[in-house]
Chains A and B, each alone.
Chain A
């Protein structure tokens, strides 16, 4: 695939959930684009809509959807407009796959590892023979560093780290263009975490795949990020390349969030954000961060636009108007 071609484009994506107390605006007017082969990380605190965004992209929707709207272009095709059947056959797992949160615990306990990794291939008729399937599985295992003698075992016979590798191999087996990783290392121990990040990094270099990495762990996110986006209360408040994001975030929320991350190698002044994020049931109509913001001013009662303040650096804040 041609480099620097935009392969992935999200426009005004919304996903609201119906609840007894009203609609929850988990993803609200989210827009971003991605260049082939680059990895974007989405960081944000729990409940800000990261998992919902992943589900909205891959149309893995729960029953209680209230609103699902916007456009999602993959290689210039608006996949949101496709019929569910077409989406299932031609897109999910084939062109875009997801490693869900806690995937390693979601493997089927009574099915051997090899069969699970091969499943997306067989279901989508991407291989004709068992041999062919086996070949593709072996290839995926090599990428994730899963020893081949684990293929004949059941998930419970593997450690957490190895099960997570199997879950990643499953997403890679059909060679999709895009893989969404939702908190791929959160439940794992530090050394295992570092090993999995090494694996993802190598896959990225070797295959040129496009990753969307979702995490609440800002330190770890820098291991894979080419670009970064910060979510707050269902919206993207900042997006830029990683170099700018980690060194000089512009949105007051991003700035404070970064200041709250303790560092091992440097002694810095730590800070925290008083208060808590707004409810997504009835979020404030202006800037959603305003009531916790140290730089708030009159204009913040109106919703700020998402502005490109420098090349490829977007911020949703009136300060940069």
Chain B
């Protein structure tokens, strides 16, 4: 095994078949198309991109909820394609999932105690005492104290922020090594977002957790992750350490995303933003070459619209899939 690499994603593709009249195939939605990256133990990685670029599909494929069309996911040195049934179950138990919509994530008819006990029961934690201990620890970790106040509550009795904390508590209760959290705060108000993100950050540090933090909000990445990966049209267009990335954004799409993000600053009202028009590509019929080329002002005729760019190294650990860096 390589030094403390927890997760290795190699040339991963997840396609969805599109059918007409229920059976005639009209092609594939290439939601995740040849994606490769590594995640170290204890590392927080932001996955950023606009809606429809494949973030959720990537997350769900890593979690074993979608079967990849091709490619490989190596967890703790072993390919999940080679896992036995028992190993798949153990694998899933080692990953926590915080899904996109907290309101849909919690069963409305279960109280908090039941919600947190479920994954324990499913994974064979039989002793009542052990269950109580783990539930108490999970709630305490998420600052939901006194614990007794929350145990009998049903989801509708909790605020949006509290519900999301229950979702996170459930994701970490089995002591996973990796938590995948898909837009964990996008449905919440500004004043509570930070509280949730800071709690996740504390968990990450305290338990040496690896975190895949999916977001469309670039302004949060510097506070909550070490590394960033930008997706566009099913592909990774740029990845690198957060600070280096912010100092030296290289892919034209990434540059546009940064330009489009507004900090609260009265000077903003005086200038126009230089952002491309147009729309993200169809993943059923993506454009040839670089998927961003139809919107890109640096497009090199005959190259960008023909050949798919490979990853070019910008600096150590920082790469961009763009012909400008050939």
Contacts and interface: CB of A to CB of B under 8 A. Distances in A.
B190 interface: yes
A272 B264 contact: no
B206 interface: no
A190 B261 contact: yes
Contacts of A224: 269
Given A243-B266, A246-B266, A216 B190 contact: yes
B192 interface: yes
Interface in A186-203: 189-195, 197-198, 201-202
Contact of B269 (A46, A190, A242, A267): A242
B263 A260 contact: no
A78 interface: no
Interface in B212-229: 216-220, 222-223
Given A190-B257, A191-B276, A198-B272, A219 B262 contact: yes
Residue in A190, A245, A246, A263 with the greatest tally of chain B CB atoms within 10 Å: A190
B279 A45 contact: no
B159 interface: yes
Nearest to B261: A264
Interface string B283-316: 0000000000000000000000000000000000
A195 B275 contact: yes
Given A159-B279, A189-B280, A190-B50, A272 B192 contact: yes
Contacts of A198: 272-273, 275
A222 B266 contact: yes
B191 A223 contact: no
B194 A272 contact: yes
A310 interface: no
Given A189-B51, A198-B272, A201-B269, A266 B189 contact: no
Given A189-B51, A198-B272, A223-B269, A264 B191 contact: no
Contacts of B261: 190, 219, 264
Contact of B195 (A247, A262, A274): A274
Dominant secondary structure of chain B at its interface with chain A:
helix
B74 interface: no
A219 B216 contact: no
Interface residues on A, range: 35 or more
A49 to B, nearest CB: 14
A222 B193 contact: no
B2 interface: no
Contact of A261 (B159, B218, B246, B264): B264
Contacts of A266: 263
A250 interface: no
A271 B190 CA distance: 10
Contacts of B110: none
A258 B246 CA distance: 22
A225 B266 CA distance: 7
B190 A226 contact: no
A300 interface: no
Contacts of A37: none
29 contacts: A45-B190, A159-B279, A189-B51, A190-B260, A191-B276, A192-B279, A194-B275, A195-B275, A197-B262, A198-B272, A198-B275, A219-B219, A225-B269, A226-B269, A257-B191, A260-B191, A261-B190, A261-B263, A261-B264, A262-B194, A262-B219, A262-B223, A267-B222, A270-B194, A270-B223, A272-B198, A273-B192, A276-B159, A276-B161
Given A189-B216, A225-B269, 9 more contacts: A191-B256, A198-B273, A219-B264, A223-B268, A225-B266, A247-B266, A262-B222, A267-B222, A267-B223
Pairs of residues from A and B, 6 with the lowest C-beta to C-beta distance, nearest first: A194-B260, A273-B191, A45-B189, A272-B195, A219-B262, A272-B194
Interface of A: 45-46, 159, 161, 189-195, 197-198, 201-202, 216, 218-226, 242-243, 245-247, 256-258, 260-267, 270-274, 276
